[in-house]
Amino acid sequence: MNESRLNQLGAWQAARALARRELLAEDLARACLERVAARDADVRAFVHLDPDAVLAQARSLDAGPLRGPLHGLPLGVKDLFDTVDMPTAYGSPIYAGHRPAADAAAVALCREAGALVLGKTVTTEFAYFHPGPTRNPHDLAHTPGGSSSGSAAAVADHMLPLALGTQTAGSIIRPAAYCGVVGYKPSLGRVPRAGVKSLSEALDTVGGFGRSVRDVALLGAVLTGDQRLLEAGAAVPPRIGLCSGPDAAHADADVQRAMYEASAALAPHAAAFADAPLPGELPDLVGLQKAVMAFEMARALSHERLRHRERLSERLRALFDEAVLIPGALHAMHLAQAADAQRRVDAMFDRFDVLLAPSATGEAPAGTTATGDPLFCRGWTLLGLPCIHLPFRTGTRGLPVGLQLVCRFGDDHRLLAIAQWVHERLTR
Amino acid sequence: MNESRLNQLGAWQAARALARRELLAEDLARACLERVAARDADVRAFVHLDPDAVLAQARSLDAGPLRGPLHGLPLGVKDLFDTVDMPTAYGSPIYAGHRPAADAAAVALCREAGALVLGKTVTTEFAYFHPGPTRNPHDLAHTPGGSSSGSAAAVADHMLPLALGTQTAGSIIRPAAYCGVVGYKPSLGRVPRAGVKSLSEALDTVGGFGRSVRDVALLGAVLTGDQRLLEAGAAVPPRIGLCSGPDAAHADADVQRAMYEASAALAPHAAAFADAPLPGELPDLVGLQKAVMAFEMARALSHERLRHRERLSERLRALFDEAVLIPGALHAMHLAQAADAQRRVDAMFDRFDVLLAPSATGEAPAGTTATGDPLFCRGWTLLGLPCIHLPFRTGTRGLPVGLQLVCRFGDDHRLLAIAQWVHERLTR
């Protein structure tokens, strides 16, 4: 293979070549490291990277037996995940140089499958809104989104084929949209969160990034243990519901154009294609998600809130100060309302196999002091539904634009099969 | 107050005296430490205890402002919870001497409320079945139950008034039953699990132990942030359903007698009292719980499974070897079946405010090489329902026997209010 372009190989293609030993893990890792060396001074996707250790591990993978479906694939790991052999700071100065005693479960599962952890990628502070140094590889003056900023940017910039992320509000789908990669947020509870800094029991979800649906399916199958995620070719034309939701007016012209183009491309081929309004009696899901997240973050991060207040960002302190005023009884009611909304929205999937929805309000905003608005993700995260972002066009300023698909709770294998079907038609 | 008996004070009573500064935290801590010194060579409830550090913290609490509802109360912390100032080994030699970088959220919340962490209590290995050294304080030849062995035994033996535990199968309710204390397992997701060694997303629940319903309500209000848990006096006579479930035949004569006695004591006063059979079409909840737990444990503990196999107990290795054979698609089906069962059982609570059910198959079994059978807890844990164990009699061998109450998901405040009403009538 042409070594100068090895870093551009998608995960699926590289995995096949690695499994046949037509491609050496070392050569692939070297190509990725070279790309990082060339670009990361600008993009700043990584907080930790040790090239010598990576190459030593790559050689060890080449010399040993095939480990599994991710054998030899370089993987970026959001610095919200514990790694036993790399420092883990959760995006906070409180944990600078912290060395966890174990790998996060998701990291261990990927390593068991043969993945080669290339390095730790930038997260915002505790996966909230205070940004890290990462810039959008398509335009360095723009944010890559957050909180999985480094993972999305590194995959987008061909520094590596796959990366891990997490979503509590919109931290997988939004950076995937801004960076123009595929981002997959599984159904709540399908991927173990052990060893991932916890923000919210009700919301935190482990997922990942790749440059194609098949690539994230490969990662998703390892993370969930569900082999059906690999059956991407099995899709029959789906029944698609168009669901911009109550915040449709916040989608800018680029996103509206994407919705229109996708409709034109998909409607003729889908088994059904129609507007899919949310049930009328739903509560304000965005407001509910914000309140649940605030209450739970202030409690999950109690140690940091109580002992390290002076080392928290102003924004996080402000969140905590508001959150501690939320009565626990109100939070219990919020969780009950969310459960009720889950039941109501579930019924939509009797009529539609998948919902097509905006991922973000527009292209990545200019500036790197904020990470953009997760408005179009909060509701789906609160509902726990599996989501995938599909990039397929550019917007007014030449930055990536795409849309997300949302499936019924637990139907992750269906989501990925339909996403493959949809993405093929959007990128023809 | 009579210092020689301070260690016997319940949490509620002690908290009141501490808040009025009629009782010094130092005196209470000293009494508890003296009890530990006198008894723990036999009971072996603690894995870590530093009396000097405890007394220094007690004096600091006495000298400072009132912190909150747990001000000055000695608290036992199961060694599955991270503590920043005490080693945390999760019951495994892999983590001997491990020093976490932060307190678990539940520990930090208790400390914020003024609790004084007295020490770390014995857990079975990763809260599974391989026992620690703890013995039942009522008869040292018997197990205290597991996995929260040390917390239940320490509270039962008046070494401290409150302790933290976790339940994934039956690890709060069962040791509470064997040791004769009140054990409270909240609704799934109501208490943050951050910093607690994770076994299962679908099952792990943080809760605690005390010697009365009011005592655990005090702790529960801090853990959930829900002040309604303190309104124990507000209960009106409840509608009680008697629910021995499909495994009723496994309850021995002592437990059957407890069910009979409770019925006789409660039926005349309850708003309604009737048999409450589970819906006929339910799947085998016990089998389902076992399968979900096995699959998720083998994945949540991937790091230990892959890197430290030789330092795992035979029993845990055997679990992992079986668990990795469970297909992910089957696990997804199990989760869907559990969600369906949750909906069906939820309907029972239209007719009953609370279910009265066995907590264990009998008194604590003889021997300390096993921790007894969580049979009567597995189903409720899978359903995520709030449970409380109430001790009220002794069995054939003079060991404690009691029953558990189970409420609708999210109705923790109701569970505790009803438990207070029920316990008063059972212990008259």
Distant-in-sequence, close-in-space partners of A39: CB < 8 Å, separation ≥ 6: A137, A157, A159
pLDDT at A244 over 90: yes
pLDDT at A2 over 90: no
Q: Which tokens sit at A273?
A: 């294609």
Compute the average pLDDT of residues B223-241. Answer: 89
**Residue B1, pLDDT score:** 47
For residue A302, which residues of chain B lie inside 8 Å, CB to CB? Answer: 103, 105, 108-109, 112, 192
**Residue A123, pLDDT score:** 98
Question: Which residue(s) pair with B196 in the sheet?
Answer: B81
**Residue B398, pLDDT score:** 98
Q: Which tokens sit at B99?
A: 């020093």
pLDDT at A1 over 60: no
Confidence of residue B428 (pLDDT cuts 50, 70, 90): confident
Low-confidence winner among A220-234, B58-72, B108-122 (lowest mean pLDDT): A220-234
Please name the member of A102, A300, A412 whose beta carbon is closest to the beta carbon of B303.
A102
Strand order in the sheet with B205-210: B46-49, B116-121, B74-78, B162-167, B205-210, B182-185, B387-394, B400-406, B354-358, B239-242, B272-275
Q: Which tokens sit at A218?
A: 């490969």
Q: How far is A264 from chain B (nearest CA, A)?
A: 34
Write the burial class of residue A190 (CB in 10 Å: 0-12 exposed, 13-18 middle, 19+ buried). buried
Confidence of residue B269 (pLDDT cuts 50, 70, 90): very high
Q: What percent of chain B has pLDDT over 70?
A: 98
Strands B182-185, B387-394: parallel, antiparallel or unpaired by DSSP? antiparallel
**Residue A15, pLDDT score:** 98
Nearest CA in chain A to B413: A329
Nearest CA in chain B to A223: B299
Using only C-alpha atoms, what is the Rg of chain B?
Answer: 20
Contact A329 B111 (CB under 8 A): no
A301 touches chain B (CB under 8 A): yes
**Residue B280, pLDDT score:** 87
pLDDT at B4 over 80: no
For the segment A149-195, what is each residue's pLDDT rounded down to a tens digit?
A: 999 999 999 999 999 999 999 999 999 999 999 999 999 999 999 99
**Residue B233, pLDDT score:** 67
Confidence of residue A53 (pLDDT cuts 50, 70, 90): very high
Of B290, B256, B278, nearest to B373 by C-alpha is: B290
SS3 B388: strand
Contact A329 B226 (CB under 8 A): yes
Q: How far is A341 from chain B (nearest CA, A)?
A: 14
Write the burial class of residue B82 (CB in 10 Å: 0-12 exposed, 13-18 middle, 19+ buried). buried
**Residue A236, pLDDT score:** 87
For the segment A86-116, what is each residue's pLDDT rounded down to a tens digit?
A: 999 999 999 999 999 999 999 999 999 999 9
Average pLDDT of every residue of chain A: 97
**Residue B185, pLDDT score:** 98
Compute the average pLDDT of residues A215-233. Answer: 94
Nearest CA in chain B to A110: B302
Q: What percent of chain B has pLDDT over 90?
A: 97
**Residue A400, pLDDT score:** 98
**Residue B234, pLDDT score:** 60
**Residue B150, pLDDT score:** 98
Cα(A147)–Cα(A15) distance, integer angstroms: 28
Give the A window 76-115 contacts with B, CB below 8 Å: 84, 95, 98, 100-105, 107-109, 111-112
pLDDT at B116 over 50: yes
For B57, the enclosing helix (H) or strand (E) is helix B51-63
CA B168 to chain centre: 10
**Residue A233, pLDDT score:** 67
- Maximum Cα–Cα distance for chain B, whole Å? 61
Confidence of residue B392 (pLDDT cuts 50, 70, 90): very high
For the segment A258-286, what is each residue's pLDDT rounded down to a tens digit?
A: 999 999 999 999 999 999 999 988 999 99
pLDDT at B318 over 70: yes
| Per-residue buried b or exposed e for B211-249, using 16+ beta carbons within 10 Å of the residue's own CB | bbbbbbbbbbbbbbbbebbbebeebebbbbbbbbbebee
Task: State the amino acid at position B182 in one-letter form.
Answer: V
CATH 3.40.50.1100 describes domain B1-428: no
Nearest CA in chain B to A221: B328
pLDDT at B2 over 70: no
- Maximum Cα–Cα distance for chain A, whole Å? 61
CB B428 within 8 A of CB B262: no
Q: Which tokens sit at B306?
A: 């892959």
SS3 B411: coil
Please name the member of B108, B193, B336 whose beta carbon is closest to the beta carbon of A201.
B193
Q: How far is B221 from chain A (nearest CA, A)?
A: 9
Q: How far is B193 from chain A (nearest CA, A)?
A: 8
For the segment B6-18, what is each residue's pLDDT rounded down to a tens digit?
A: 999 999 999 999 9
Which residue among B151, B171, B200, B359 is the active-site one?
A: B171
* Interface ipTM > 0.90: yes
State the DSSP code for B238: P
pLDDT at B311 over 60: yes
Cα(B207)–Cα(B413) distance, integer angstroms: 14
Q: Please, how many CA atoms are within 13 Å of residue A131, restricted to the half-sphere of its CB?
A: 21
Contact B301 A224 (CB under 8 A): no
DSSP collapsed to 3 states, chain A: CCHHHHHHCCHHHHHHHHHCCCCCHHHHHHHHHHHHHHHHHHHCCEEEECHHHHHHHHHHHHHCCCCCCCCCCEEEEECCECCCCCCCCCCCHHHCCCCCCCCCHHHHHHHHCCCEEEEEECCCHHHCCCCCCCCCCCCCCECCCCCCHHHHHHHHCCCCCEEEEEECCCCCHHHHHHHCCEEEECCCCCCCCCCECCCCCCCCEEEEEECCHHHHHHHHHHHHCCHHHHCHHHCCCCEEEECCCCCHHHCCHHHHHHHHHHHHHHCCCCCEEEECCCCCCCCCHHHHHHHHHHHHHHHHCHHHHHHCHHHCCHHHHHHHHHHCCCCHHHHHHHHHHHHHHHHHHHHHHHCCCEEEEECCCCCCCEECCCCCCCHHHHHHHHHCCCEEEEEEEECCCCCEEEEEEECCCCCHHHHHHHHHHHHHHHCC
Cα(B125)–Cα(B61) distance, integer angstroms: 33
DSSP collapsed to 3 states, A324-338: CCCCHHHHHHHHHHH
CB B368 within 8 A of CB B131: yes
pLDDT at B33 over 80: yes
Active site residue B147: yes
Task: State the amino acid at position A88 in one-letter form.
Answer: T
pLDDT at B98 over 50: yes
Compute the average pLDDT of residues B228-241. Answer: 87
